[in-house]
Amino acid sequence: MNPGRSRQSGTVLKYLPLIAVAALYLLPLAWMLSVSLKPDAELLQSNIIPEHPQVDAFGQVMRSESFDFPLYARNTLIIAVLSLVGMVLSSAIAAYGFARIRFPGRGVMFGVCLATMMIPFPVIMVPTYMIFKHLGWIGTFLPLWVPAWFGSAFNVFLLRQFFLGIPIELEESAKIDGCSTWGCFWRIILPLSKPALAVVALFHFLTVWNDLIGPLIYLSHQNQFTLALGLQFLQSRAGDTPWNQLMAASTLIILPVLVLFMLAQRTFIRGIATTGIKG
């Protein structure tokens, strides 16, 4: 038997389960795109490939009065950018403190920080709403991006583990040359942590982009809606749901995320692969 052919067959068999799982994940996306291309007469048909594909649904979504895509996209981007900057910066600062600065109770504080991940959002939803109502923030974007400037336990943990993998000798050499602790963090740690920072940024961007509960609770006016909330509004409006328009809007919402992931795929994978479990 040819060893090369046997090795090739083994490689094919090894990747077949991965291809099958990938196909299962791609099936809902294919169905969504298929429905978005179907005319009204074919919406109830179960065929994946439309008999008479058309892109009218995308034009109807862009011109729709009940789903103002440019406005909702602008609102979502405003919230995403403001919260993204705050989340990456605050999580990196907290992670650097837990990784490099020695102070009494550091381990206990880090444990408490990780314990907050076990608290589900419905538990703190009402108290958080009451705090924001007392501050007069209900009906504004503030509750959706200001909390991001106080970090996230998961992101702090992820960045701390990455910082622990950076040789401390680099910072010691910089301090001998007169660099301060903040200078070491800003000039040495952050530039070396671009893959991990990219992972945190991408995770948080996806969270904000797909968030429905936050805008649903805190936003009061339709001109403040985000894409996820506007999509829900389009689905639940009175009368029959225009499924082709709904799927077209979903495709438009997903497309920027797919493009972003494709552009940052190498950095994202590198950040996941190099974030160890040290410490």
197-242 pLDDT, tens digit per residue, is 988 998 899 999 999 999 999 998 889 999 999 888 777 554 567 7
Choose between 272 and 135: higher pLDDT: 135
pLDDT at 56: 86
Full residue range of the structural domain in which residue 188 is found = 66-274
Which residues 6+ apart lie within 8 Å of 76 measured at CB?
A: 208, 209, 226, 227, 228
How many CA atoms within 13 Å lie on the side-chain side of 245? 23
pLDDT at 277: 43
How many domains does the chain contain in total?
2
Q: Is residue 130 part of a domain?
A: yes
pLDDT at 279: 44
State the pTM of this model. Answer: 0.84
Share of the chain above pLDDT 70, in %: 90
Q: Is the pLDDT at 278 greater than 80, yes or no? A: no
pLDDT, tens digit, 9 for 90 and up, residues 241-261:
778 888 899 999 998 888 888
Specify burial of residue 4 (Cβ count, 10 A radius: 0-12, 13-18, 19+): exposed
Q: Is residue 279 part of a domain?
A: no
Q: Is residue 60 part of a domain?
A: no
Residues 32 and 93 in one domain: no
pLDDT at 273: 61
Q: Is the pLDDT at 47 greater than 60, yes or no? A: yes
Residues 34 and 106 in one domain: no
pLDDT at 275: 55
Mean pLDDT calculated for residue range 102-109:
92
Q: Count of CB atoms within 10 A of residue 158's CB?
A: 21
Q: Is residue 259 part of a domain?
A: yes
Residues 151 and 237 in one domain: yes
* Angstrom distances, CA of residue 114 to CA of 59, 117, 229, 230, 278: 46, 6, 30, 33, 16
Closest among 12, 197, 26, 7 to 96, alpha carbons compared: 197
Residues 13 and 92 in one domain: no
